[in-house]
Each structure stands twice: as C-alpha cells, then as structure tokens.
Amino acid sequence: MNALPCTIYISFTGALLSLAVGRRSPGLARAVALASALTAWGIALFAAFKFVPDAAGPVSLVDYPWIPQMGIRYHLAADGISLTLVVLTGLAATAGVLFSWNVEQRTGEFFAFFLALIGGVYGVFLSADAFLFFVFYEIAIVPKYFLIAIWGSTNREYGAMKLVLYSFAGSALVLAGILWAYAAGGAHSFAVADMAQAAVGFSHGQQVWMFALVFLGFAVLAGMFPFHTWAPTGHVAAPTAASMLLAGVVMKLGAYGCLRVAMPLFPVGFLFWQPMIFWLAVIGIIYAGLIALVQEDFKFVIGYSSVSHMGFVLLGLAAANVRAVSGAVLQMFSHGVIAGLLFAVVGRMVYDRTHTRKLADLRAMSLYKRLPFAATVFVLAGLASMGMPGFSGFPAELTILIGTWQTAPWAAVLAAVGVLVAAAFTLRVIQVSFFGHADTAKAAVDVAPLPPITLAEKCGALLLLGATILIGLKPDLLLELIRPALQTPYFQAVLKGGAL
C-alpha cells in the first residue's frame, strides 16, 4: 500500500531512462519501458489485494507541505476508486508497451513520452490535494501532444492540436472553478476534503456556477456530448499505444475529476445541473452510437464508440446513488480495457499490416481468414463492448441501469436504446472489417500475405481479454473495492441510497 506513490516515480524514472538509452539501443528502451510499466502495475495490483477499506475515507500515503503559504500540500491518498483506476492504468500501460513493440522511429523518446503520460495519470488518481491533482492533470496533457504530433497518422497535426486545445480549455475551466472555491472558502487549504467542508457555506448561486465550471472542465475530457469532438479525431490520429491510453485511461481522468472533485465539493450545484447532465449523457450514448454506425473509417468507429461508452459513465454519475456510481466506476475500468483492446486490434494488428483503415477496403480482404487471431480478439472485444454477459461491460451496465431506474427511469429506457445502438454499430463493424466477402466487394488491395501476429501482440491482447473476462465473471473483485469508498462521509452529501 505504502509503495503506491512509487508507481508515479517509477514511471517518471522509466521515462528519463528510456530517453537516455533510446539513442543507443531501441531494444533497451523497450525493455526499460516494459519493466517500469510492469513494476508499477505489480505494485498497484499488490496494493489492491492488500487494501483494507477505511470507513473514514481515503488512506493517506504521503503528506508533506509543498507551498505552505497557499496551503498546498504534496498529499497522496488512495481509496477503492483510485485503486481501481490505478490498476487499470498499470494494465493499460503494460499492454500499451507491448503493442508499441514495433515503434522504430525515435523509440527512446516515444517511450519517454508514453511513460511520462502514465506517471501523470497515476499522479492524478492518487492526489488528495486539488492543486496537486491539477498539476498532474496538466503534466499528462503535454506528452499527449507529442505522441500524436510525432508518431500519429491521419491528420495528426490537426488531431493533436484539437485534442490539446480542448484539454487546456477544460483544465482552464477547472482551475478557475477551483481557485474561486479556494478564495471564497477561505479555508486556506487545497485538500479536497477541506474544500468540501468550506463549500457547505457557499450560496446557492456560487455552488451552481462553481460546479458548472469544474464539472464542465472535467466533462470535456470525459468526452461529454457536445464537447466530445476532440476525442474521435485525436484518438484516430494517435499512434496505437497512445489511442489505447487516451481512450482507455485519460478519458477516465475527466470522469474521475467529476466524481472526486466536482460532485462532492458542490452537491447543491450538482442538484441544479443534474437533469441537464442526464440529458447530455443519454444524448451522448445514442448520438455517438449512431455516428459510429455510419463511419467509413475503422478507427473512427472505435473512437465514437468510446464517446458512447463514456456516456454510460456520465449517466451513472448523474444518477448519483451508490449503486449507479459504483457501476460508473466499474464501467470506467471496463471501458478502459475494452477500448484498449479495440484500438490495439484496429491500429496495431490491422492497420500496421494492411495500411488501410477504410472499411470498404477491409471488406474486400476477408481478414478473418488471413488474421484469425486478430479476428477472434476483435470479436471477443466487440462482444464485451456490446455489453454481452460474461464480459466486464455487462455488470457495469447492469449496475448503472439499476441505479438509474432509482433516480430517472426515463433515462434508463433511453440508455437501453443506447445498448441496442451499440450492438448495431459493433456488429456492423465486425461484419464489415473482418468478415467481408472477398468476391462481393471490389478487390482494392492485393492479397500478399500479411505479417503474422507477433508474440508481444498476443501477450498484450490476452492480458486485456483476460481482464475483461475476469471482471465479467467476478465483478465483485472491483465492486467490493469501489462500494465502501462511496459510502464514506466524503461522498455522503452528494450520493443518495447508501445501502444495497
């Protein structure tokens, strides 16, 4: 447990090391990256196994004064929610390294940026101080830009710029909201628990607008409709490992911020905006799903599917009861794994071999015969993404649906429509991408044999598949971590319905 902060330090050290050795030997840089990702993940898993929930709140890990004049502390803490997401980060990082084994261009720098991003993400999930949270959040933005702009594909300059501008705009809103709350509260502390205490005294108007600023800022990063457009563009432009991490983990930073900072700090403000968030969540689920249904680029389908799935997370948050929110956190984990898997198949297994992502071209290739492993993985990942029972998406969506019934039955009905849309676009893309008929479509691409799937790819795919099936069959492993965290006093003001 006390080793958890090391996940951050290991990642940053790994980044520096891989930068240092990268020029001399790309192979060494890969090894360094894999070693640091694995170690950090191991620490996270170990901490999650050993974790004993504390009814009072997050367990403090490190707490030093940093800028005492402003009451800013270097304070790291963990509870079941952060642990869940830290484990997800470790998993996604490890799989991401495995799926970038073939990066030959400036290998050392690639892994340096990749690990720096991971370090920032770990930092966000472990911060208990709002200012520190924000610092790590900003640290994570910079490597995103370089990863996309240097190693990206289609339209990478545009994608990188759009993604980073949206991120910065979002964080500016967050910063404004937090500073306002800090100034108005007068508690002279950035600790989220203290800030929540101080916010109780705010007027209704203050709560409403502070919440709006902070929530919107985070929700942009979570891909909330209508501020989601950066996500598909950015994720499509990114190199495979970055897409996996951006969709899989970085989008969760936004949702995590909504849950950890925006909602408990301003419960009154949340109540005011709750109906609006419901609407935006269900519109996001259905709209992004319909857009995914008509995409002609394989990777864009996955990009939009991420927005649709993040809508479920927002829906769970909007329902604001323990059950729905525990479902939302489970969905964050689940989507992190599944999105990673989908992007890995599209970007690494298919695009790196066929050099096309146009569904019309892929349709002519009958890829299931030529890449049976990739086809199997994609079918399984697609089923998980559809919310099939037996995969992690199912318990998450079921828990969210149950919780949503409690607060807003009509939103649950619309979400069920969303489940149908998700099935429709997933099945369509499975059908067209891998199971097209070579004879019916125009044979646009020659049938030279494709390079076989490498060992690194197989390991990465099995890792992620194993995770989604394990959690699909044993969701208790995570739900029992998440639920106690939501029943602590910190979340009591905003979450209703503590019991079953």
The contact set with another protein (CB under 8 A) reads: 326, 379, 383, 386, 388-390, 395, 398-399, 401-402, 404-406, 409, 412-413, 415-417, 419-420, 423-424, 427-428, 431, 435, 437, 474-476, 479-480, 483, 500
Q: Please state the φ and ψ torsions of residue 3, each to the nearest 5 degrees.
A: -85, -5
Q: How far apart are CA 376 and CA 169, in angstroms?
A: 40
Dihedral class, residue 307 (left if φ above 0, else alpha if ψ from -120 to 50, else beta):
alpha
Burial class (CB in 10 A: 0-12, 13-18, 19+), 13: middle
Amino acid at 95: A
CA distances from residue 77 to 191, 195, 230, 334, 376 in whole angstroms, order as listed: 11, 16, 31, 23, 40
Burial class (CB in 10 A: 0-12, 13-18, 19+), 409: exposed
Q: Mention every residue, 6+ apart, whose C-beta is less than 8 A from residue 118.
A: 11, 37, 40, 89, 93, 245
